[in-house]
A = this chain, B = another copy of it.
Amino acid sequence: MTATGTDPLRPLRGVVPPLCTPLTETGDVDTAGLRALVGHVLSAGVHGVFALGSSGETAFLTDAQRHTALTTVVEAVGGRVPVLAGVVDMTTPRVLEHARAAVAAGADALVATAPFYAATHPMEIADHFRRVRDGAGGAPLFAYDIPSAVHTKLPAATVLALAEEGTLAGLKDSSGADGPMRRLLTELRRRGLDSSFAVLTGSELAVDGALLAGAHGVVPGLGNVDPHGYVRLHAHAVAGRWREAAAEQDRLAQLFAIVDAGADSTPMGPSSSALGAFKTALRLRGVIGCAATAPPQVPLDDTAVAVVRQRLAAAGLLR
């Protein structure tokens, strides 16, 4: 991204979809599909994209696939909006390798979780983010708070300290916990940090409330499927049209039910069911050509695909 005038990353605002990573039937990154997906969300007017997040199956991609996906996204975006890149791995040394690779590939900012697999102390978590920031050439760094994946909730005191010292440029809050986010937002404002530190909610079902509470933006997995909806929702909120924002959110919450279609029909985990639904919806909408997810995820069966199709139609997303 070429900075022109004001820096869109200080703070980052708006709708930033965590891009799915389309795969071919043989398990390779479907670069054509990924470029089409980038075009799909950019045409809706999103304010940034997040590659290699949980919705991007980052946990399932090899390092080579991560590289392919990220460079494809950077090229397809062409500097029009910031590209955030997930650098998800177990601990600092491994995260640092991903961070350096992402910067080299052209990412505008990095997104790292707390360490996982190994149990860490909050002081170690803070040190982790400092080392990642320092070791990756100073690229803006976002903390990714996702307890469902890493089994640690980032302590508010840690986030505030890292915000105040400038280690972090923001937080992607995928904890789904509304209370701690509100306390963080009010405290950031009290300290005058809300103009340099962005809070992006990953709760795609409560975006209206999050924006009302002062969150800077949203990183909605469902924004792959319906980026126009989230852009409208955001615009309503910015303009103070809260009833309209809530109505748009309600429509998106109904559409979100596609994430259960897979597991309602076949034994599978929540990742298979949710990411399979997003990709199936993108295929049915004609954005990508193949809805395959990476192993050991299970594909949606015909019954589940029919449910996804029906809900897309109900949401007015199929021609």
Smallest Cβ-Cβ distance to A212: which chain B residue:
B246
B298 touches A117 (CB 8 A): no
Is A286 in contact with chain B by the CB < 8 A criterion? no
Q: What is the interface size of chain A, counting residues whose CB is below 8 A from a CB of the partner?
A: 75
Is A206 in contact with chain B by the CB < 8 A criterion? yes
Is A256 in contact with chain B by the CB < 8 A criterion? yes
A254 touches B186 (CB 8 A): yes
Is A27 in contact with chain B by the CB < 8 A criterion? yes
Contacts of A131 in B (CB 8 A): 295-296
B178 touches A206 (CB 8 A): yes
Q: List 14 A-B contacts (CB under 8 A).
A: A54-B117, A60-B90, A91-B294, A115-B296, A119-B270, A177-B177, A178-B178, A178-B205, A183-B253, A183-B256, A183-B257, A208-B213, A209-B212, A240-B243
Residues of chain A whose beta carbon lies under 8 Å from any beta carbon of chain B: 27, 54, 59-63, 65, 88, 90-94, 97, 115-121, 123-125, 127-128, 131, 148-151, 176-179, 181-183, 185-186, 189-190, 203-206, 208-210, 212-214, 240, 242-243, 245-246, 249-250, 253-254, 256-257, 267-272, 294-298
**Known pairs A178-B203, A206-B209. 8 more at Cβ < 8 A?**
A117-B149, A118-B269, A121-B268, A121-B272, A121-B298, A123-B267, A212-B212, A214-B250
